Amino acid sequence: MHRSRLAALVLDCKIDDIEQANTFWEQALGLTCVRSSEAWSSQYSHLNSPENQPHILIQKTTHQSRVHIDIETDDIAAEVRRLQAIGAQIVETFERWVVMEAPTGHRFCIVNPQRKDFIDADDVNTWS
């Protein structure tokens, strides 16, 4: 048995300087942008959304700009198997996450728990 839910909306931005994206999305959504640690600050940031809502991440990419979702889970391997059983395919496996593609062509990531309330939240699905 494992659990999962929507963790984040990720704004993939094909852009030279992530600060352009940070400034735009801060102003567009009225949320404060939190820069990642020094090692990751040129590639990742997030908007300070309310704790009971999915995170909104900003990610500098080399592929076309798009939005993808992150699904958080307490068992990445089990969640990948569950999603493969309903038609998703693995695109790429990383040390801390797996990129998958839905039968509809949409890509998404399976990640470890990201939101602080994952353990106690009522909106987490339990799968057997």
pLDDT digits (tens, 9 = 90+) for 60-101: 999 999 999 999 999 999 999 999 999 999 999 999 999 999
CA distance 67 to 21: 13
CA distance 1 to 114: 19
Residue 109: other Cβ atoms inside 10 A: 21
pLDDT digits (tens, 9 = 90+) for 25-60: 999 999 999 988 888 889 999 999 988 899 999 999
For 91, residues 6+ apart whose C-beta sits below 8 A from its C-beta are 99, 100, 101, 107
Give residue 47's Cα distance to chain centre: 13
Question: Of 14, 42, 11, which Cα lies nearest the Cα of 26?
Answer: 11
Please give the residue range of the domain that contains residue 77: 2-122
- Domain-located, residue 128: no
Query: What CATH number has the domain bearing residue 65?
Result: 3.10.180.10
What pLDDT score does 52 carry? 86
What pLDDT score does 35 carry? 87
